[in-house]
Amino acid sequence: MSDIIIIPFGKSVPLSPSDSAFAHGFGIFETMHYADGQIDFWHYHWARLSKSARYFSLPLPAENAVLSALRTHVCESALDQGILKISLMKESAGSQLYVYSREQIAAPSNRRLRLDESCPIFEGSTLVGHKTHNYMEAMHLMGLARNRGDYDILRVDSKGHLAETTSANFFFVKSGHIHTPALETGILPGVTRTALLSNKDLEIKSGLYTPKTLLDAEAVFVTNASSGVQLIEQLYGLPDQKTIHFSTDVPTISLVQSAFTSIRADHATQLI
């Protein structure tokens, strides 16, 4: 059984310390961009949440019930735009689905990534492919990056292949072609990544790439549900300590930005 708990904006609810959600972070969640009465990429979010709920044997309410709860939250909180979130948490008698929101967090102005090979992603983990509440490692690494003045870090998998940042999927442009690390590296199948890959006009290639692949890349960008497409201007931390500078004004990037705007409009779900 799974109940839905709607948390008004700025409010909180208690969690039992004896439940696995509190004690172990046993839960999955989705972070969704909301504006103009619409949720971006709802169907992608719901598909990923449903798949993970089945994998972890977490009872999930019906989709219509969840959309109704999101609608209630938006109306009662008088939310015009921001980030909607749903968390499915393990409880002693099943699960609870929490509906809540937060303000949009502005992306850092510094568009510099640091390659960090000291904390590889283990692509064999049972949590791979799932957006779980076990985010302590990612948040710790992001905090260290922000304290250095970086946008984020670029991680690798245990075999040294390029993977993702702590909060976004990674793409690069080389010889006019768009590339992104394959799911085999243990990355999260982000909804924005999935949506871009579904666009045949972009012809994005996924594969296994080493950091040296980026030495002659023309452009780099990262994607996630809350910030969309964000351009990266610099990368450092390569073995030779060379800082690579990327262009933000190349035709392929303009194509990606235009495609993203179109895809987002096509995959928006009207909530109110």
- Alpha-carbon distances of 84 from 127, 199, 220, rounded to whole Å: 23, 25, 27
Q: What is the DSSP string of 98-113?
A: EEEEEPPPPPPS--EE
Supply the DSSP symbol for 197: H
pLDDT at 241 over 80: no
CB 193 within 8 A of CB 134: no
- Res. 81 pLDDT band, cuts 50 70 90: very high
| SS3 state of residue 225 | coil
Strand duo 94-102 + 2-6: pairing: parallel
Token pair listed for 167: 């909060």
- The percentage of the chain sitting over the pLDDT mark of 70, rounded to a whole number, equals 100
Neighbouring C-alpha atoms within 13 Å toward the C-beta of 258: 8
**Measured CA angle at 109 (ends 106, 111), to 5 deg:** 120
Encoding tokens for residue 243? 């800082």
Lowest model confidence (mean pLDDT) among 62-76, 124-138, 174-188, 237-251: 237-251
Pick from 185, 180, 169: which is nearest to 222 by CA? 169
Interatomic CA distance for residues 218 and 65, integer angstroms: 46
Please provide the DSSP assignment of 29-97 as one string.
EEEEEEETTEEETHHHHHHHHHHHHHHTT-----HHHHHHHHHHHHHHTT-SEEEEEEEEEEETTEEEE
pLDDT tops 90 at residue 106: no
Q: What is the pTM of this model?
A: 0.96
Q: What's the mean pLDDT in 72-85?
A: 96
Mean pLDDT along residues 144-158: 97
Name the least confident of 4-8, 15-19, 210-214, 239-243.
239-243
pLDDT score of 133: 95
pLDDT band at 233 (very low <50, low <70, confident <90, very high): very high
pLDDT at 1 over 70: no
C-alpha 190/C-alpha 188 separation (Å) is: 6
Q: Report the half-sphere exposure of 242 (CA within 13 A, side-chain side).
A: 10
Length in residues, the chain: 272
pLDDT (0 to 100) of residue 105:
87
Mean pLDDT computed over 145-169: 97
What integer best gives the mean pLDDT of the chain?
95
Give the separation between CA 209 and CA 240, rounded to whole angstroms. 18
Residue 2 has pLDDT above 90, yes or no: no
Largest CA distance in the chain: 55
* pLDDT bracket for residue 167 (50, 70, 90): very high
25-39 burial, b at 16+ Cβ within 10 Å, e below that, comes to: ebbbbbbbbbeeebb
Q: What percent of the chain has a predicted confidence (pLDDT) above 90?
A: 93
